[in-house]
Structure 1
């Protein structure tokens, strides 16, 4: 079996005063050539099977060969999801207060109308 290789975006970026190796240029060109904005990023299930983004996995396998193991870091939530969860929870917590104030306003207006009539 081949050795383990960890691939991170920071490994593909050139730091200041460093030049790109031919291997890094090949990986970068493969990813650029196969990029499509319509395709979502790699999605991995809870049992570490690739659900979506198999083309990126295949780029790495074609480049490094089938004898290597590609290690992928799985993240459960994105920042965008946290933003929506906070917004929804805030609305749920404010909804009873808003409804209470609305009912009180309607009752007061009805009482004023009864006094006028």
Structure 2
């Protein structure tokens, strides 16, 4: 159990955060494929452990309100220690049309998200 004075200090250091969840505009005629072919799913994990004002999740200690860009899994994690939650942003889901394939880089999110590459018929 946290002592009241320590709890107050933790609350002072916990800020408000917001994730940009806008979906990129579809490409116009002659433009390339969008980096995210679909909406970016947002998942909220509740009741995560909080130790010393940091979220304990996935074997990591996450600083509050900091966007943690992951390679494996290809996700972005944000800790909200005040509400005991971690918000996870993932790559969009989509179907691969004929004559197309997925290509992904071994980099941190969002660069690790697959990109749709379509060739000629």
Fold shared by both chains (TM-score > 0.5): no
Higher helix share: 1
**Greater fraction strand:** 2
Please classify the TM superposition score into its range, dividing by the shorter chain length.
under 0.3
Larger Rg: 1
Q: Structure 2 length normalisation: TM-score?
A: 0.19
